[in-house]
Structures are given as C-alpha cells and as structure tokens.
Amino acid sequence: MPGGQLLGDVAPNFEANTTAGCIHFQDFLGNSLGILFSHPRDFTPVCATELGRAAKLAPEFAKKNRITLSIDRVEDCLAWSKDINAYNGEEPTEKLPFPIIHDKNPDLFILLGMLDPVEKDEKDMPVTARVVFVIGPGKKPKLSIIYPATTGRNFDEILRVVTSLQLTAEKRVATPVDWKEAKKLFLKGVFTKELPSGKKYLRPTPQP
C-alpha cells in the first residue's frame, strides 16, 4: 500500500462484469481521463453517501469516465443503486451515472492494492479501502488517494484535483494549496496588470 498502481505505470487492461455489462478497462477509458474508485461494501451507510454524492456530481464530472469497484454481485449493485437514487431524492432506478464493477475473487482489489491489511471484516478478511485512481488520457495514473473504510472521501476534493490535473496538463502552471478555479471564485474575471518588471503577479478582479 498505497495502491498497486504508481505514477507512470500503465493502467491494467482487465475485463470485468459491471452493472453496464462486460467492459475492457482500457477500452472503457478510451482517450479520456478516467476515475476508478473502490468502495468497501454495497448496502453500507458511508459507501451509500459517497456514491450518492458521486452521482449528484455527474454534471461536474461530465466527459470523465468514472467507474467504481465492488466486491458485491452485479444484482446487488443494481438493487443498491435504487437505494442510492432514493437517498439522493431521485427516482429509485437501477441506473447510476457510472457503472459498478463486480470483482468476485477479488482479483482486481489485490492487483490494484486496494485491500487494507489492518482492517478486517467479521470473517477476518481484509476490508477494501476507499481508493481513487485518476488515470490520464495516456492510460497512466496521475493521482491516487487512499482512505480507510471508516472515513468517507470528499468528492468535491476529487473534482478539484481532476480540474487541477487537466489545467496543469494543458498549461505550464502549478496549482497551490487549497487552489480553486479562479473562474468560479471571481465571477467578473481576473486580469493581469502589465508591470515594468514584466512579472505578471498583480492580477486584479472587479469588486464582487
């Protein structure tokens, strides 16, 4: 730990049974950015709130291939999806804006280093950690986050880092501590003041 996937590795090309049918992971990713996240169990409270939040954020995550990994059977994942939609105040259908992979053996959890060696379930088996891999368009992991099962993730933070990854891949910039998109913070725009030094460090924004 953390994770069997390191920065610079190529994401494995596994075949998996999901709530949206059989997928080949690299085909699923295509040439877009992808997010693979695990959750410990279906029909558990923290996981339900996480998947509910991930579903609510579908418009913000548009054009990013998201998929979550479960130890539970596809039938259970589909039934649980109804609960998640109901929790979100939506029609209780089996459809979520991302598929759920059923990892029955659990080969993928082992391959991807997602089992927590410390935390054990009632059968004394390692519990699945809450892992997030953001995989870049070149199918190489750009970021990994790992939390224990007892701590839910912050999907706004995942969105923030994905936005930063896309920005820093396009432009020669780095985003600082607690960075938030300037466009969202400063709705009237940010301007660069030309200075004798040529350094572009004064960036005023109109009074909100």
**DSSP type of residue 25:** H
Cα–Cα distance measured from residue 207 to residue 169, given in angstroms and rounded to the nearest whole number: 31
* Residue 41 beta carbon to ligand BEZ: minimum distance, rounded to whole angstroms: 5
Choose, by CB under 6 A, the member of 34, 40, 52, 99 that binds ligand BEZ.
40
Q: Cβ distance 112 to 133 under 8 Å? A: yes
User: Annotated catalytic residue: which of 29, 47, 114, 135?
Assistant: 47
Subset of 138-157 contacting ligand BEZ (CB under 6 A): 149-150
* Helix (H) / strand (E) containing 132: strand 130-135
Side by side, the strands of the sheet bearing 130-135 are 21-24, 15-18, 100-102, 65-70, 34-38, 130-135, 141-147
Q: Is 115 in the site for ligand BEZ (CB under 6 A)?
A: no
Q: Which is nearer to ligand BEZ, 45 or 117 (CB)?
A: 45
Burial of 109 (0-12, 13-18, 19+ CB in 10 A): buried
Which range, of 18-26, 43-51, 68-76, 190-198, touches ligand BEZ by CB under 6 A? 43-51
Choose, by CB under 6 A, the member of 33, 47, 69, 84 that binds ligand BEZ.
47
Burial of 105 (0-12, 13-18, 19+ CB in 10 A): exposed
Q: Is 46 in the site for ligand BEZ (CB under 6 A)?
A: yes
Cα–Cα distance measured from residue 38 to residue 31, given in angstroms and rounded to the nearest whole number: 22
Q: Which is nearer to ligand BEZ, 39 or 142 (CB)?
A: 39
Q: Which is nearer to ligand BEZ, 11 or 127 (CB)?
A: 127
Q: Is 127 in the site for ligand BEZ (CB under 6 A)?
A: yes
Catalytic status, residue 77: no
Which parts of this chain interact with ligand BEZ (CB under 6 A)?
A: 40-41, 44-47, 127, 149-150
Give catalytic residue positions.
47
